Amino acid sequence: MNVAVIPKINQVNSTTLLGAWGSIFILFLFFSCSPKAADKSSNAPTDSIQMHYAEGFDIFYHTNYKEVVVYSPWKKGDVYGRYYLVHDKNIPTPENGSKVLVPLHSLAATSVTHFEFLSLIGELNSLSGVCSPHLIYNAVIQQKFKESKIIDLGDAFNVNVEKTMQLKPDAVMMSGYNQSDPYSQRVLQGGIPVILNVEWMETSLLARAEWIKFVAAFYNKEQLADSIFTKISTDYNHVKAKVAQLKTKPRVMAGNSFRGTWYMPSGRNYMAKLFTDAGGDYFYRNDTSAGSLPLNIETVLRDFSTCDVWVNCNFNSLSELQNVDQKHTLFKPYTNKQVYNFNKRLLPSTANDFWESAVARPDLLLCDVIAILHPSILPNYSMTYANKLE
C-alpha cells in the first residue's frame, strides 16, 4: 500500500523494511525487566522485551518457550490472557495459559486494526479469515478475498463459529472486551487458540502502535517489529519536537453531534494527546477521564464555538454538515472553512483506512494534524488520512 511522503522524515513502508532484513538482522534487541513483570509461572523468565509506551502486554523469554501476557485494561493487576509460544507442541508449558505453536501459518483476524501490523512484518499471506470484508481498505486483502484465498467469517460481534472451525486456522486474533464472549469459548473448545488483542484500549498513539511487537511474537519476528516500531516512534517524536516550542497553539475541537449527543475526546483519550503532540490547544486536555465525553451541543458551543480548527468531523462537505444540524454553522471553523475529516482514504463500501493502518502509523497521522494546525512546519506535505471539507 502506498503511503504519503513526509518531508524531511524518512518514510517507513513494508517493502523497504523487508528488503532491509539483512541489516535489521544485525541489530541488537534490547531487553529489560518490565515494571509489570510479576511472573506467576513456576519458571522465572530469563529476559523480556522492553516496552516504551504500551502498557497492555509483555513478552517474556523462558528456556524453551515465549510467554506473552495481556493485562486487563478494566481491572488493574489482572491478567486478561496468557499465551505460551512454542516451536514444538510437545514442549511442556505451565497450565495457566494457552499453548500456541509458532510461527503461525494461518490466522483469522476479526478486527481491521490488526492488518497493518501484519503488513509491516510481511505476514499478510498468513491471513485466511476476516470479518466484514467490505469494511477492509487494504488492497491486498481485498484481492485475496476476491480470489477466495481469504474467507468471510461474518460480523466481528457475531463471528461464524462453524466457518471458523472449517477453516481451522492456527489461531484467531480478536479484540478483547470487558465481557464474556461465547464465540471465543466455542472456538477454544474446538482446539483453536484465541489471541485477545486490546491495543484499542491504550491511551496514546505510540502505545497502540507498539502492539506490532505483540503481533510479531506469534511469527517469531519480534526483532523486525522492534526495528519497525523504533523507526516509527523516532519519526513521530522528531516531528513532534518541531512544534513543541511554538508559542501559537491553535484551539482544536473534534467530532460532531450524533442524535443529540456530541462525543468529545476526554483528556486521556489518544485523540486529545494527538492534538497536544501536534501543537494544538485542546479544551479538555487536563481532563483525567478516559474514552469520550458525551456532551450536549449547548456545552460544546459554550466551550468550542470560537475554536480555530475542527478535526475528525464525520462528514464530507460543509453543506452536509449544515444539513444535518444547523447549529454546526455556529462554530468559527465552519465559517472560516477550517473543518477536516479523516476520510481521505474512504472507499465507496465505507471502508476507511484511518481505522485500519493509522493504528500502526501514528507518525503519518501526527503529520496530518500538524499540517492542519501548523502548515509552515511541513511545507508541500500531502496528507495521508485527513481531508478538508469544502
Instruction: Split the chain (390 residues) into runs of 10 and give each run's mean pLDDT.
Output: 38 41 35 39 78 97 97 94 97 96 98 97 98 97 97 93 96 89 88 96 96 98 98 98 95 91 93 96 93 93 97 95 92 97 97 97 98 95 97
344-347 LR contacts (CB < 8 Å, sep 24+):
344/383, 344/384, 344/385, 344/386, 344/387, 345/137, 345/384, 345/385, 347/137
On whether the 245-388 domain is CATH 3.40.50.300, my answer is no
Please, what sign has the CA dihedral across residues 26, 30, 31, 34? negative
Query: What local confidence, expressed as pLDDT, does residue 266 receive?
Result: 94
Contacts for 218 with CB less than 8 Å, ≥ 6 apart: 68, 85, 100, 102, 103, 104, 107, 171, 195
141 to each of 114, 116, 123, 159, 337, how far by Cα in Å?
Answer: 12, 11, 11, 18, 36
The helix or strand, by DSSP H or E, that contains position 262, with its residue range, turns out to be strand 261-265
Instruction: Give pTM, 2 decimals.
Output: 0.86
Domain with CATH 3.40.50.1980 in the chain: 14-233, 245-388
What is the CATH number that goes with domain 14-233?
3.40.50.1980
Q: Are 249 and 276 in contact (CB under 8 A)?
A: no
Q: Which pLDDT does position 30 carry in this prediction?
A: 33
pLDDT at 152: 97
